[in-house]
Copies of this chain bind each other. A is one copy, B any other.
Amino acid sequence: MKVLVIGAHPDDAEVRCGGLALQYTSRGHRVKFVSATNGDTGHHEIGGIELARRRYREAQAAAEVAGVHEYQILDLHTGELEPTIANRKTIIRIIREYDPDVLITHRPNDYHPDHRYTATLVQDASYIVTVPNMVALTDIPSRLPNIFYMHDWFRKPIPFQPDVVVAIDEVIEKKIDMLHCHESQFYEWLPFNQGILDQVPEAEQERKQWLASWRLPYFEKVADAYREQLIRLYGPRGKTVRYAEAFEACEYGAGVSAEQVLELFPFFD
């Protein structure tokens, strides 16, 4: 199986579906991460080349932890992504060349404009990846990809409705390891942005614990919110799942039946 995750920033794939990626790679499937922007503005003190290169290295490190064979970073300004035809064609090319079984991206109504426009770009590319006459020099993929949205908590115009909820308990440590690679994000920018920079420990090991204590509740909350689906998918074991990630099928991808979900996400036995 080939899985393609298109996030807006270097770390979105990790945060929202790092556990899923680990589930795939640990079973021998191929996963590729894409960041639609280069991360060059998500910081309070540095930016431009210094930040873009640092975040590139962080992303590559995270990819290694995840067993992800490629982490492609589009060299576009973070905070300025637009749903232009030029960007649409770039996304079309990436999807065609990778030809994924499963394609994962943001919902079009998340809090960050780059998230929203990444979603728009993927939606706008979706059907057109099957039209040979657009981006004529790159062959169409073998099928319309199955597109899934990563989880978010926003409720308007419509709340997230999970079609797949994946337990990540057995890989949760590695997922934290992935986030730990993103130093500039999790120990610098996001703490600054949330006003908790003074809480970040200095020492490597303490940092990681702090990171876990900060981030794990989010994944617990997902498991609790979608407990019913966990039980439906995992059987009784679903009751005790502690950490989860959730995904919603996008209507503009290939239609996905309940059976296909089991095939595309082969984790439920």
A interface residues (Cβ-Cβ under 8 A, vs B): 38, 40-53, 56, 73, 75, 77, 79-80, 82, 84-89, 93, 111-113, 116, 123-124, 126-128, 130-138, 154-158, 193, 251-252
Contacts and interface: CB of A to CB of B under 8 A. Distances in A.
Contact of A50 (B50, B75, B87, B158): B50
Contacts of A130: 193
A157 to B, nearest CB: 4
Number of copies: 6
A43 B133 CA distance: 6
A246 to B, nearest CB: 16
B38 A136 contact: yes
A51 B51 CA distance: 12
15 contacts: A41-B49, A43-B49, A43-B133, A44-B133, A47-B48, A47-B52, A73-B137, A79-B133, A80-B85, A84-B86, A86-B86, A112-B127, A113-B127, A130-B193, A131-B193
